[in-house]
Structure 1
Amino acid sequence: MPSYGFLSTHPPTRCGLASFNSLLAAHLTADGARGGVVRVTDSSDDQRALPGVVHTWAARTPAGWRDAAAALNAFDVVIVQHEYGIYPGADGQDVLPLLRRLAVPSIVVLHTVLSHPTTRQKSLLEQIVGAAGAVVTMTGTARDRLLVGYSVDPAKVTVIPHGAADQVGVPATRRTRPHLLTWGLLGPGKGIEWSLRALARLQDLDPTPTFTVAGRTHPKVIEHHGEAYRAGLHQLGAQLGVAHAVDYQAVYHDPAALGALIRSADVVLLPYDSREQVTSGVLVEAVAAGVPVVATPFPHAVELLTGGPGLVVPHQDPAALAAAIRRILTEPGLAARLAGRIRPMAAELRWPAVAFRYEALAERLTAARPPVVSAASA
């Protein structure tokens, strides 16, 4: 079996990429394969290195990609998590010389594929795909967007879904009132304000729903704007008369606590403002747990929910959001039908199946690598 080097943000950093990389690394090394993480940090991160971190690439280190690449070359294959904002340089451009310096095959996982990139973003992503041994998108939408909008080799691109925990065995503790839920790092664009306005339209239900907003404010948001967004939500909830029904849990739940919270929900709300988001770990977790979802038509939601385990409503439309929630809570059999639609796809969304596909891709790359000829045999 190959050994794996991973390049990404990583715990104790708390963000979607860090969580994804941590879970992927854990599953790929669960059977004894050797692995190590090169952790990317910035000045706001907790700098403690957890076990499994073999090197830290600090954003302010000049040409830090050189030492990062040297650490990654100790493994058979390297898996790189890509977002424009996590690596040093304009649009994270310092990841490109690192990829070119690798002496081993690389798999680049694209968490974002922009439909309207800047000229520099487009050129950078094309060069990253060119330097990679293989590229993974997590949805067919992202793959299509990449192939249509960028000059890349289609043969390099593989679709592997975002992994999800197996929540089937987690007890589903139902509450006395309908429970609406959203979670993840909080900040503008999450659309929580639309959920609050929808909740205000559901006050005629008996019993009235409660709404849990779980997650800390995104550290980048705190750095630039403090807690202004969260404070604005509290103020809006009070103005709408629903503050008593909203539970803000400003914590980062561990997997067990998050699983219990998800399984207690009647509806997961994802009213994101984004029209670009091609990958949502929250969406995949909710769907895999069998909880009906109401979401706006960001690309991943359209792909996963259309005709599937949820309802899609227009952006920034609290009336439509409230109507969809009302249907799920009151229409006989609808919630069960929506949850039932996940069963055919649930197995392939869970982490063991996802890790198996990465392992197969890694083995294909290492098998295709030309053998190293020693000086003595040359």
Structure 2
Amino acid sequence: MAASYGFLSTHPPTQCGLATFNSALSAQLTAGGRPGGIVRVISSGEDERAGPGVVHTWSPSSGTGWQDATEALNTFDVAIVQHEYGIYPGPDGSAVLPLLRALDRPPIVVLHTVLAQPTAGQRATLEEVVAAAGAVVTMTETARDRLLIGYAVDPAKVTVIPHGAGDHTGASTTSRARPHLLTWGLIGPGKGIEWALRALARLRDLSPSPSYTVAGKTHPKVLEQHGEEYRTSLQRLGALLGIADAVRYQPVYRDEAALSRLIRSADVVVLPYDSREQVTSGVLIEAVAAGVPVVATPFPHAVELLTDGPGLLVPHQDPSAMATAIRRILTEPGLSDSLVGRTGPVAPTLLWPAVAARYAALAAGLRTANPPVLATPPVPA
């Protein structure tokens, strides 16, 4: 009998990287009618109505929080828990710890962030999360190494499974008269889009000069605290640089088909992130799997995936270097095809069916090593 899967995570209609990841992974592991359900974690003010597949909502307003979430997850054979410090209640998200310890079977915990310089609380919480887990997944070798070197954890628990990607190869695209640069995902300070705008201004001498699409809504937490201040500052900068007519902001959420068309329309995906910590980027994986050349700053996941791979790395906050890299891809004969060609061996392993199969194999091994404890029948009088 097929295993049933319970998932603990943010989940649509929440719009964040974890929600998108959990939605894709849960859809794969419960495809074909296989049993499963989602325990959705929400923040204050979010819509509590259950969407498709959601069996319980863990809300900050609930007085029994983790206990009810545990009870819901214990109805499944396997629990897959997405971990990020900011999604669970308590200091450093520590409210997830009693849940992990109370599950009927050791869970699979997926780490979306492994900090190189955590606070004492963050370090202690993550070490306890790993201790309570049956298996831990990091999405890059960089994250695994950082976890094993910087934290007191059991190395035997840690497995690397890449972030999944959709299959964009069949997406139809609209021909464009100008080269097309693309950045997508939730935006806010730290995305580095201001550096990409400055790079674009250095490419106006190309004929035709590139256009640039910034696709995605402002991150909900940024929107709550600062409104559209960041997006407005980008628009002002574009006007000052004289490139406002070359930049399009598309603050919409796209379904998979629309996102595929957008990605395949790009000549270069630009990831100008300021972060030096980011060990996982779903946007990077999607671009690589789609076979689109990438220009990125050297955040850890980009260094791991793009070094001698399908893209070019440029220093943080260096628009001149970024412009030079983009110019090379757009104008240097054969370079774009050469970069895309490096994707070939790795792309199939990044697609969601292959990634989900690795989770299923990990779950099967965990179940074999930790069979359910059967109650001892009473001895007849």
Query: Could you state the TM-score of these two structures normalised by the residue count of structure 2?
Result: 0.98
Q: Is 1:168 matched up with 2:169?
A: yes
Distance (whole Å) between structure 2 residues aligned to residue 44 and residue 86 of structure 1: 14
- Give the aligned partner of residue 47 of structure 1: 48
Quote the Cα distance in structure 2 between the aligned partners of 1:172 and 1:336. Answer: 18
**Counterpart contact for 2:309–2:343, Cα < 8 Å:** yes
SS at match of 1:186: coil
Q: What is the correspondence of 1:232-311 to structure 2 with a 5 Å cutoff?
A: 232-311=233-312
Q: Is the 8 A contact 2:40 2:54 kept in 1?
A: yes
Matched residue type, 1:209: P
Residue matched to 1:117: 118
Q: CA deviation at 1:172?
A: 3.9
Match of 1:155 in 2: 156
**2:365 is equivalent to residue 375 of structure 1:** no
Gaps (5+ residues) in structure 2? none
Aligned residue in 2 for 1:138: 139
Q: What displacement does 1:376 show?
A: 1.1
Task: State the Cα deviation string for residues 171-219 of structure 1 (Å, max 9, x = none).
Answer: 2433110000000001000000000000000000000100000000000
CA–CA distance in structure 1, aligned partners of residues 63 and 151 of structure 2: 30
Partner of 1:31, secondary structure, is: helix
3-state SS of 2:346 partner: helix
Partner of 1:57: 58
Distance 1:61 1:224 in 2: 24
Count matched residues. 378
Structure 2 matches for 1:349-360, cutoff 5 A?
349-360=350-361
**Residue of structure 2 equivalent to 1:98:** 99
Shift of 1:169: 1.1
Which amino acid is 1:95 matched to?
A: V
State the Cα distance separating 1:353 from its structure 2 match.
Answer: 0.1
CA contact (8 A) 1:12 1:48 kept: no
Distance (whole Å) between structure 2 residues aligned to residue 57 and residue 143 of structure 1: 29
* Secondary structure of the structure 2 residue equivalent to 1:220: helix
Distance between the aligned counterparts of 2:157 and 2:11, measured in 1? 26
Aligned equivalents of 1:371, 1:204: Cα separation in 2: 67
Within 2, Cα distance between the matches of 1:130 and 1:189? 32
The answer on whether the counterparts of 2:48 and 2:59 sit within 8 Å (CA) in structure 1 is: no
Shift of 1:63: 4.2
What are the superposed Cα offsets for residues 221-266 of structure 1, whole Å, 9 maximum, x if unpaired? 0111111000000000000000100000010111111100000000
User: How far apart, CA to CA, are the structure 2 residues paired with 1:212 and 1:23?
Assistant: 25
Question: Which aligned segments of 4 or more residues in structure 1 are displaced greater than 6 angstroms?
Answer: none
Q: State whether residues 134 and 158 of structure 1, in contact with CA within 8 Å, keep that contact through their aligned partners in structure 2.
A: yes
Secondary structure (helix, strand or coil) at the match of 2:295 reads strand
The residue aligned with 2:190 is 189
Equivalent position of 2:109 in the other structure: 108
Q: Counterpart in 1 of 2:206?
A: 205
Secondary structure at 1:86's aligned position in 2?
coil
- TM-aligned CA deviation for residue 77 of structure 1: 0.7
Amino acid at match of 2:180: H
RMSD: 1.0
Counterpart Cα distance in 2 of 1:204 and 1:197: 14
Instruction: Tell me the secondary structure at the aligned position of residue 343 of structure 1.
Output: coil
Q: Distance in 2 between matches of 1:148 and 1:12?
A: 36
Q: 1:92: how far off?
A: 0.7
- Larger CA deviation: 148-157 vs 40-49: 40-49
Query: Cα distance, 1:62 vs. partner?
Result: 3.3
Structure 1: segments with no counterpart, 5+ residues: none
**Residue 170 of structure 1, CA deviation:** 1.1
Does the CA contact (< 8 Å) of 1:163 and 1:284 recur in 2? Answer: yes
Separation in 2 of the partners of 1:203 and 1:362? 52
Query: 1:112 offset after TM fit, Å?
Result: 0.2
Deviations 1:66-95 (A, max 9, x none): 000000000001000000000011111101
Letter in 2 for 1:355: A
1: distance between equivalents of 2:251 and 2:372? Answer: 52
Distance 1:103 1:94 in 2: 18
- Is 1:37 paired with 2:38? yes
The Cα shift of 1:61 comes to 2.5
TM-score (norm 1): 0.98
Residues 183, 269 of structure 2: 8 Å contact kept: yes
Task: Confirm whether residue 13 of structure 1 aligns to residue 10 of structure 2.
Answer: no
**Aligned partner letter, 1:283:** L
- Alignment partner of 1:128 is 2:129: yes
CA deviations on 1:109-147 (whole Å, 9 max, x unpaired) are 000000000001001000000000000000000000000
Distance 1:148 1:222, change over 3 A: same
Answer yes or no: is the 8 Å Cα contact 1:75–1:104 preserved in 2. no
Distance 1:367 1:168 in 2: 37
Identity of paired residues, percent?
71
Deviation, structure 1 residue 371: 4.2
| Counterpart residue identity of residue 316, structure 1 | Q
Partner of 1:319: 320
Shift of 1:377: 6.4
Q: Find out whether 1:25 has 2:26 as its counterpart.
A: yes
Write the distance in 2 (CA, Å) between the matches of 1:360 and 1:173: 40
C-alpha deviation, 1:21, in angstroms: 0.1
| Whole-angstrom CA distance in 2 between matches of 1:60 and 1:240 | 47
Moved more, 152-161 or 38-47: 38-47
Contact 1:161 1:354 survives alignment (8 Å): yes
Q: Distance in 1 between matches of 2:54 and 2:188?
A: 29
